[in-house]
A and B are shown apart, each in its own frame.
Chain A
Amino acid sequence: MSGILVLEQLLNGLGYGLMLFLLAAGLTLVFGIMDVLNLAHGSLFMSGAYVAAEAHTRTGSFTAAIVIAVAVTVVVALLLEVLLMRRLYTRDHLAQVLATFGVILVADDIVKMAWGPSPVMAPTPAALSGPIELVDGLPYPSYRLVILAGGLLVALALYLLVNHTRIGMRVRAGASDRPMAELMGVRVGRIFNGVFLLGAALAALAGALMGPIVAVQVGMGEAILIPALVVLVIGGIGSVRGAFVAALLVGVVDTIGRAFMPMLLRATLPPATAADLGPLFAEVAMYALMVIVLIFRPSGLFSARS
């Protein structure tokens, strides 16, 4: 196992982790502040990916595609907020799970009607399709580097917004103790609207960026929703910092599970057993991590509510 391979996998893991963070940040803030469990968050991710793929093919500009994807998804989120989410604030988690699961079904069918049931091609921007030699002997796809850089930049911006601005202070206050924040004059309802739209924008950005390296297809939102929820739970609900740490942890653990566990098994077990167990460890690593964390810290690593 060479150092270069490890480095490459680590970069892949970080890239995946940063995308998970973009999803989990919105999810955890909405959940932390309004106590709304929004299963349809993955559908916003799907919306970002589809709109970006379509816009990219039509305009030929990657930047325009991302801007359009984010804008369209924010409008969709606004509609969702006005028509549905508002009515769910005061309901229990079960009603929220039910209603937002319903939104998933509706969203999947709308996408199927608009783009058909088969996956859509999301082109990689031409300027970013070649590899870049990071260190000697490691050509790394430049598009993945852009994802890494973009994810880091957004994470940094979000960190500054949440931790070093007045708005961020109100957001955190709302997340850790809503009634108290309201007593102190924070208009939590209005803050929430902003956070919900911001979360949608982040999800759309993640979808637009991920489009070219994953299959843009119906159900992609559900597939990424579960890892995002795992991140949320490991990090502790309502904590952006927790979501960040947990997202990188999950990204790296998942990639290690996929890349190195099969290798390790092949080296130590009979080939047939290794071939059976390899994929298993790859898929299960993330969930095992979550269960282990919850055994020791039943409310996540950095729960905003203690």
Chain B
Amino acid sequence: MKSSSRHIGLGLLLLLLAAFPLVAPLFGLEFYIGFVRRVLVVTLAAASLNFILGFGGMVALGHAGFIGMGAYTVVALSDAGVMSAWVMWPLAALVAGIVAALIGTVALRTRGVYFIMTTLAFAQMLYFVVVSLRRYGGDDGYTLTGRPGLLPGLDLGNESNFYWVVLAIVALALWWLHRATQSRFGHALMGIRDNETRMRALGYPVFKLQLVAFAIAGAIAGLSGALLAGGNGFVSPATMHWTQSATLLVMVVIGGLGRSWGGPVGAVVWLVLEEALKQHTEHWHMPLGLLLIAVALWAPKGLAALYKRRLPLIPDLSPAGRGSKT
């Protein structure tokens, strides 16, 4: 009963989101079609971070680097004249996944704050690599030649069409991520988060499992980077700045660590607040900063936790728990 009502809720949400480009013009909200699309894409990136952070206990502070890898794969392909989405998007995910796997092999040797810093260091290196690529605009960024092509007769240059494609991909990827967390693999990952030593003693290949999860999260972040690039028609190194990684981390924690809806809820709350505050004041950082402090002090399990029933999936945030401590 509970699960079926949940399915109905999800179906309704999906329907509402799908109908948005049709309804928006009636209320003069065309501008927000692009905004909602961007939120959807960021939602995907946040969910991929939640996969390793919330479910895997890996506090990675370099996730924006993988988004950037995906975006710059699209840039490189576009620059080379390849405009097929069938090539661009999978390749973006693949490149980001491979880069994540390579980084993971080094970063996963460290623990705790050293892990945070190693992932940050690698993301910084990626950031400076793209800054130095003058062919792709260096510091100034790169303007793509156009939207990618997906199917003959489907014009992705049309804002609504692109929106629907993004919605479909994001919904599918989120569903897949959700299934992954419920699979044997996902449970093993949570087991490692809660007690690494025990999992190792049970014979689980801890390093391999973490590496695979890290690479998957990187690949999905890369896909979101590709969708972001395609939608904006512009890519700049700013996408990969470390504060972007920190913002993603913030979204996941605000939404609720290790909850299927944590990443999406956090991304939506953060981006909507940011957009709303920007329209009212030039000093929109301060209220967001105060919100962060408030969440850290009074709602450490995120907004999702305020509504949902307690699940056994929540990572223990107290110092006594495994959490992110070493």
Contact = CB atoms under 8 A, between A and B. Distances in A.
A95 B283 CA distance: 24
Interface residues of B, number: 50
Contact of B285 (A88, A91, A106): A106
A103 B296 contact: no
Interface string B285-308: 110111111011100100000000
B273 to A, nearest CB: 12
Interface string A99-115: 10111111111101100
Given A105-B286, A300-B114, A87 B297 contact: yes
B143 interface: no
Q: Which of B122, B297, B325 has the most CB of A within 10 A?
A: B297
B128 A97 contact: no
Contact of A105 (B59, B111, B292): B292
B289 A103 contact: yes
Nearest to B283: A109
Contact of A294 (B59, B110, B134, B283): B110
A92 B318 contact: yes
A98 B250 contact: yes
A98 B113 contact: no
A163 interface: no
Interface string B104-141: 00100111111011101110110011011110000000
A7 interface: no
A295 B295 CA distance: 35
Contact of A287 (B116, B121, B288): B121
B297 A298 contact: no
A113 B246 contact: no
Contacts of B156: none
B290 A106 contact: yes
A132 to B, nearest CB: 34
Contacts of B321: 92
B293 A287 contact: no
A92 B296 contact: no
Contacts of A299: 110, 114
A107 B286 CA distance: 8
A91 B301 CA distance: 12
Contacts of A98: 249-250, 253, 292-293, 295-296
Contact of A92 (B121, B283, B324): B324
A280 B113 contact: no
Given A94-B317, A280-B132, A295-B106, A109 B289 contact: yes
A69 B59 CA distance: 35
Interface centre among B283, B288, B293, B317, by most chain A C-beta atoms within 10 angstroms, is: B293
B285 A101 contact: no
A110 B289 CA distance: 11
Nearest to A298: B110
Interface in B6-63: 59, 61
Contacts of A101: 246, 250, 289, 292
Given A102-B293, A284-B128, A94 B114 contact: no
A43 to B, nearest CB: 11
B312 interface: no
Contact of A280 (B112, B128, B288): B128
A109 B325 contact: no
B293 A103 contact: yes
B289 A92 contact: no
A295 B112 CA distance: 15
Nearest to B291: A102
A284 B131 CA distance: 11
A277 B319 contact: no
Contacts of A288: 125
B242 interface: yes
Nearest to B321: A92
A222 B255 CA distance: 25
22 contacts: A91-B318, A93-B59, A95-B300, A95-B317, A97-B59, A101-B246, A102-B291, A104-B289, A106-B290, A108-B285, A109-B285, A222-B243, A233-B113, A237-B113, A275-B134, A277-B132, A280-B131, A283-B124, A283-B128, A284-B125, A284-B128, A290-B118
Interface of A: 31, 35, 37, 84, 87-88, 90-99, 101-110, 112-113, 222, 226, 229-230, 233, 237, 275-277, 279-280, 283-284, 287-288, 290-291, 294-295, 298-300
Given A92-B318, A94-B323, A104-B289, 19 more contacts: A88-B296, A91-B300, A92-B323, A93-B112, A93-B323, A97-B61, A98-B295, A99-B292, A103-B293, A108-B285, A275-B134, A276-B133, A280-B129, A280-B132, A283-B131, A283-B132, A287-B124, A291-B121, A298-B110
